[in-house]
Amino acid sequence: MFDILLDRTLTVMQDGVPREITVEEALHHRIYQEAIGGSRLAQRRVLGMIAKREKARTAKPGRKFAPNLTLRIETDPENADAALEILGIAIRDGSWEGQDGKPGRLRLESWAVQAALVRRRGGHRLGQDEVKEIVRCTRDATRLRWPRGYEE
């Protein structure tokens, strides 16, 4: 009985253009939206749908499982530098010029480092080398308020 209902179509507006979708597609879309919104039940249902899909993909006779994902690893993602500058989280260090014509390294703004230090509740105690590295990479590190027990 439900299969008959799920095969019916609805007309929805997508980017200002009317589009025909099945009731099943509409339900899946609604579940995805709820999962993105934080609903634990919806997240479990989406994971179940993904598992069901992967099981069906591998069950086809004569077909070997070949995921359509490509793994790309970037060891030094410089594309994030521009975003950090735009957001005001980091600034170029003019005292250090890069090699091979690359721009100088970034220094983190003290407010961003301070926010990270405040969020470290219950984490392991920072070692002396870690504190020195934080100071080295922070612009105006003298403004930092360190957690109790730190000498910097």
Q: What mean pLDDT is predicted for residues 138-145?
A: 90
Q: How does DSSP classify residue 125?
A: P
What three-state secondary structure class fits 136?
A: helix
Domain ranges (residues) in the chain: 2-59, 79-143
pLDDT of residue 1 exceeding 60: no
Q: What mean pLDDT is predicted for residues 92-99?
A: 71
pLDDT of residue 2: 54
- 129 vs 126: CA distance, rounded Å: 8
pLDDT of residue 151 exceeding 60: no
pLDDT of residue 152 exceeding 50: no
* Tokens read off for 149: 């027990």
For 35-93, how does the pLDDT look when each residue is reduced to its tens digit (9 = 90+)? 998 889 999 999 988 888 888 877 776 666 556 667 777 676 667 888 888 899 999 88
Residue 15 or 64, more confident: 15
User: With helix as H, strand as E and coil as C, how does 53-84 read?
Assistant: HHHHHHHCCCCCCCCCCCCCCCCCCCHHHHHH
For 116-137, how does the pLDDT look when each residue is reduced to its tens digit (9 = 90+)? 888 877 767 888 898 899 999 9
Q: Quick one: which of 150, 119, 124 has its CA closest to 135?
A: 150
pLDDT of residue 63: 62
pLDDT of residue 108 exceeding 90: yes
